[in-house]
Structure 1
Amino acid sequence: MSPYRLADPELEALLRDDAPCGDATTFALGIAGRPGRMVFRARSDMVLCGSEEAVRMGELRGLTALGPVRASGERLAAGAEILTLAGPAGALHQVWKTAQTLVEYLSGIASCAADIVAAARRADPDAGIACTRKNFPGTKAAALKAVLSAGASPHRLGLSETLLVFAEHRAFLAGEAPAATVARLRRRWPERPVVVEVGDEAEALDWLAAGADVLQLEKWPVDAVDRLRRAIPAGSRTRLAAAGGIHPANAESYARAGAGILVTSAPYFAPPRDVAVSLTSD
């Protein structure tokens, strides 16, 4: 099921960017008003994302969806039909490449994120996959739709909604003890979990003792994650989040080592999943 659809102003901006003054070719050929249809199909196996936006782009240009539309989050086999749009050739050509490219890029993100989720949950059915805010600037809403469609979640929607203490923050704390830092954060933002990124096992144990809710282990090897998990006292509510370099090939190992949360940027750099588009005259 699709988590949401991008708003019309965002879709209008994408369409205007590609055709600010209409489509010169269909106009010059005199075919803009001729009826036709456009079919999108998966060229390879994928987790789909962006089909709702493709349909809405068509509607904004006077096109009509024919038949069922596959939903974001569905896993498709190569050759599967995604959607069909019908209407005048001028509108079909205006929507074609923008809609196709959006679906390809978002399906690439969704497919990679879904592969990481599947790998991690082979080791731990409760593992959580959180995708960072390292999406290309200006694409957050679209990228997060792909992440959510894949069964993952956002690591941070932005600086305004999470407490994540980096070494770069601690450099300004004048040597304040970890326990004092955690207590101060809990007084100021009592409903927010305190997450602390730690660079080594000694730091991790200090912040564990201070009561951090989550220890974020940046680029830790799998065996170090496993050692830290074994060092956490029984009954502790502190969770471990492995971050940095997490991808489909190693997600299972990190989850098996005890990282209940895997923090990753890999989906944003995944290659697009090709979508085949055919246009025909009615």
Structure 2
Amino acid sequence: MNDCVLSDEALLRLLAEDVPAGDLTTATLGIGGAPARLEFRARRAMQVCATEEARRLFELGGASRCLVFSPSGTWAEADTLLLWAEGPAGALHRVWKSAQNLVEWASGVAGAAAALTKAAWPLPVACTRKNVPGTKSLSIKAIRAGGAIVHRLGLSETLLVFAEHRLFLDMPPADTINALRQRQPEKRVVVEVGEIEEAMTWAVAGAEILQLERFPPAAVTALRARLAEAGLKPLLVATGGVTAANAMNYAAAGADLIASSAPYSAPPADVATRFVRTAQGEQHG
């Protein structure tokens, strides 16, 4: 969790986007060489993520030293010191906003994942692959920092049969399940369903996992009862419309897992930053 998941190349691209031709204000004022320190603190309580990426960004941007005090995955109360960097003021100004944006965005995702995970306990919460495009590595780190697990990283690793796949099939459900097992014997078959009768059809056909798209909790309870009567025990994954406000209802209804993309759209956390003008040669530990 404490490793930087973004490459130096990716981090340098972030800097290039924000500072394509130098920091005009700092350069014009002529203050770039002044010794300085910059602190990141939690303005309000927050689940922390991406302080390691921020540290590496400061290092790449010319800071002489940067220390992380609150690693990814930790809970920080208001005013907790997250990290500080020291070096020439020009280097710190260059990196400041890019690093702050990284920590705020990733910590917002982590916080939302933590809230959903807490509300769903004891059910595990798996976050889907519907992250903001181009942010997969940091998105996955963020949801893990909040205690969630990965639903699937992409299309290459799981058998998840949607209605959009079934539109092109001409074989009965049982034959579909058998064909999938023959071709991918080490994989479990997941089928997304939209209502109880459809779920029963695929459970009878042999699907090991049913992904219940927008089932209200009452429908999950009813399906669990129908499956028990038939002696069937597929895992039930509640997805679509599950929030921290209603997650406990899905746990009580008989779901085995919650799948959600909601944390990816969480508002950023609020990180306070403070510059300090330091004396030439001053050291901090």
Query: How do 1:48-197 and structure 2 match up within 5 A?
Result: 48-65=48-65, 68-121=68-121, 125=122, 127-174=123-170, 176-197=171-192
Offset of 1:231 from its aligned partner?
2.1
CA distance in 2, matches of 1:67, 1:11: 17
Superposed CA deviations along residues 124-176 of structure 1, whole A, max 9, x for unmatched, are: x2x221111111111111111101111112212111111110111100002x2
CA distance in 2, matches of 1:262, 1:158: 18
Q: Does residue 18 in structure 1 map to residue 18 in structure 2?
A: yes
Specify the SS of the correspondent of 1:44: coil
Cα contact 1:42–1:81 (8 A) shared by 2: yes
Cα contact 1:219–1:244 (8 A) shared by 2: yes
CA distance in 1, matches of 2:25, 2:3: 36
> Gaps (5+ residues) in structure 2?
279-285
Counterpart of 1:211? 206
Specify the SS of the correspondent of 2:32: coil
Could you tell me which of 249, 258, 261 is aligned with 1:265?
261
State the AA in 1 paired with 2:138: A
Specify the SS of the correspondent of 2:40: strand
CA distance in 2, matches of 1:57, 1:167: 44
Specify the SS of the correspondent of 2:272: strand
Counting matched residue pairs gives 277
State the AA in 2 paired with 1:188: R
Cα contact 1:104–1:275 (8 A) shared by 2: yes
**RMSD of aligned alpha carbons:** 1.5
Cα contact 2:128–2:150 (8 A) shared by 1: yes
CA distance in 1, matches of 2:89, 2:143: 33
Specify the SS of the correspondent of 1:83: strand
Specify the SS of the correspondent of 1:55: helix
Specify the SS of the correspondent of 1:217: strand
Counterpart of 1:223? 218
CA distance in 1, matches of 2:61, 2:252: 50
Relative to structure 1, the CA distance from residue 6 to residue 114 in structure 2 (aligned partners, 3 Å threshold; closer, same or farther) is same
Specify the SS of the correspondent of 1:86: strand
Specify the SS of the correspondent of 1:197: strand
Relative to structure 1, the CA distance from residue 195 to residue 273 in structure 2 (aligned partners, 3 Å threshold; closer, same or farther) is same
Q: TM-score, normalized by length of structure 1? A: 0.94
Cα contact 1:3–1:145 (8 A) shared by 2: no
Superposed CA deviations along residues 234-280 of structure 1, whole A, max 9, x for unmatched, are: 87441000000111111111122111110111101111111000111
Q: TM-score, normalized by length of structure 2? A: 0.93
Specify the SS of the correspondent of 2:228: coil
CA distance in 1, matches of 2:127, 2:73: 16
Specify the SS of the correspondent of 1:84: strand
Offset of 1:107 from its aligned partner?
0.6
CA distance in 2, matches of 1:172, 1:40: 53
Specify the SS of the correspondent of 1:72: coil
